[in-house]
């Protein structure tokens, strides 16, 4: 069977990556449609070597569309995802709009594929936050073995997580510094070039940011509501790739050696953990890859049954576009699509 797939937000960094990954992974498409706002109509999108003209979301008839991959922001998802689902397409949304809706499954295919069946209630499936996706891929096999009690995570998140504007701002500020021009801030609250900013998304009343809250709430929904998690999310001057320093406390003993063995065969994980200079992964090396990389696996002797990890992944791929395509692949493999195009 082949399927008609629409990509909503096809001109953004994640939308473009969705098109790339659909092609790279040979997803069985009968037709691919690139959609965006009216101001992008007529622009070129790319599916492999083919150019696709961008069409307006507002004018598109989704009748006959099997899957709609959304990466167009929460406001667009709130308005359009139910409309598109009502026309028969399964919506896989990358925004935060639907993640905590109890009738919308929040899916990382390596972690909770069985939860996919719940999508029929609204016809919508949510993609988790980029930093959450890679985290739970690494946590899942360890949780299955020793039961996680508590996680403390500090993230080092690339500017592409803030979209095209974030990438452009880092480029522009870096060039300005080298030629001694004024450094202008537009996307971020402080200069991002040669700096780090401990602030992603809005601040909440308890002092945490919404990005930090997302990691806590989403990990509980995807993995286990009993897990206690606290996060500090930091924007860093890296173009692609989110990194995380993760401290885990388990209910049962788990040595670093056994954790390394478990992770080395876990789905979606690659272990690169040599205890020598350069024996670890960095964001630069993970860019363009599908895997979630784990390094620096070591025991934390300050708590009973503690481990520390370094987790890195391409946020545009596993953190967004790849995870969405993997959800679509899981729909196909589980025969969950409501209708199929020949």
Active-site residue list:
130, 242
The dihedrals phi and psi of 93, each to the nearest 5 degrees, come to: -105, 130
- Of all residues in the chain, what percent are helix, strand and coil, respectively (each to 5)? 35, 25, 40
Helix (H, G, I), strand (E, B) or coil at 230: strand
Count of beta carbons in the 10 Å neighbourhood of residue 1: 11
Q: Smallest Cα–Cα separation from 18: which of 123, 94, 79?
A: 94
């040669």: which residue's tokens? 194
Helical (H) or strand (E) element with 264: helix 256-264
Neighbouring-strand partners of residue 156 = 234, 243
Distance CA 321, CA 228 (A): 28
Tokens found for residue 205: 């009343």
Q: How far is CA 339 from the centre of its chain?
A: 27
Tokens found for residue 244: 């995380």
Distance CA 201, CA 215 (A): 12
Count of beta carbons in the 10 Å neighbourhood of residue 179: 6
| Half-sphere exposure of residue 249: CA atoms within 13 angstroms, side-chain side | 13
Largest CA-CA distance found in the chain, in angstroms, rounded: 59
Tokens found for residue 276: 């020598």
- The CA dihedral of 148, 154, 158, 164, to the nearest 10 degrees, is 80
Q: Write the DSSP symbol of residue 319.
A: I
Count of beta carbons in the 10 Å neighbourhood of residue 102: 8
The dihedrals phi and psi of 307, each to the nearest 5 degrees, come to: -135, 155
């Amino acid at each position: 069977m082949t399927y008609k797939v629409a990509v909503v937000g096809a001109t953004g960094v994640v939308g473009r990556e969705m098109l790339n990954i659909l092609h790279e992974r040979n997803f069985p498409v009968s037709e691919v449609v690139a959609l965006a706002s009216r101001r992008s109509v007529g622009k070129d999108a790319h599916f492999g070597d083919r150019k696709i003209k961008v069409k307006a979301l507002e004018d598109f008839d989704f009748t006959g569309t099997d899957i709609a991959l959304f990466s167009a922001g929460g406001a667009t998802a709130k308005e359009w995802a139910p409309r598109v689902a009502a026309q028969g397409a399964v919506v896989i949304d990358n925004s935060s709009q639907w993640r905590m809706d109890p009738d919308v499954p929040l899916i990382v295919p390596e972690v909770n594929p069985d939860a996919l069946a719940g999508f029929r209630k609204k016809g919508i499936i949510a993609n988790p936050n980029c930093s959450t996706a890679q985290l739970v891929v690494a946590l899942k096999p360890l949780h299955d073995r020793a039961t996680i009690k508590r996680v403390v995570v500090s993230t080092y998140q690339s500017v592409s997580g803030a979209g095209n504007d974030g990438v452009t701002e880092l480029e522009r500020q870096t060039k300005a510094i080298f030629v001694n021009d004024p450094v202008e801030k537009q996307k971020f609250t402080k200069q991002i070039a040669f700096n780090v900013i401990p602030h992603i998304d809005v601040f909440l009343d308890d002092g945490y940011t919404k990005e930090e809250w997302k990691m806590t709430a989403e990990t509980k929904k995807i993995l286990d509501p009993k897990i206690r998690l606290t996060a500090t999310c930091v924007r860093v001057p890296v173009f692609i790739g989110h990194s995380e320093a993760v401290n885990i406390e388990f209910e049962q003993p788990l040595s670093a050696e056994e954790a390394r063995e478990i992770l080395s065969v876990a789905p979606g994980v690659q272990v690169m953990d040599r205890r020598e200079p350069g024996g670890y992964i960095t964001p630069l090396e993970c860019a363009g890859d599908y895997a979630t990389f784990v390094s620096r696996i070591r025991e934390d002797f300050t708590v009973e049954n503690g481990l520390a990890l370094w987790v890195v992944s391409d946020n545009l791929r596993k953190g967004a576009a790849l995870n969405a395509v993997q959800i679509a692949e899981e729909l196909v493999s589980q025969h969950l699509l409501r209708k199929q195009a020949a």
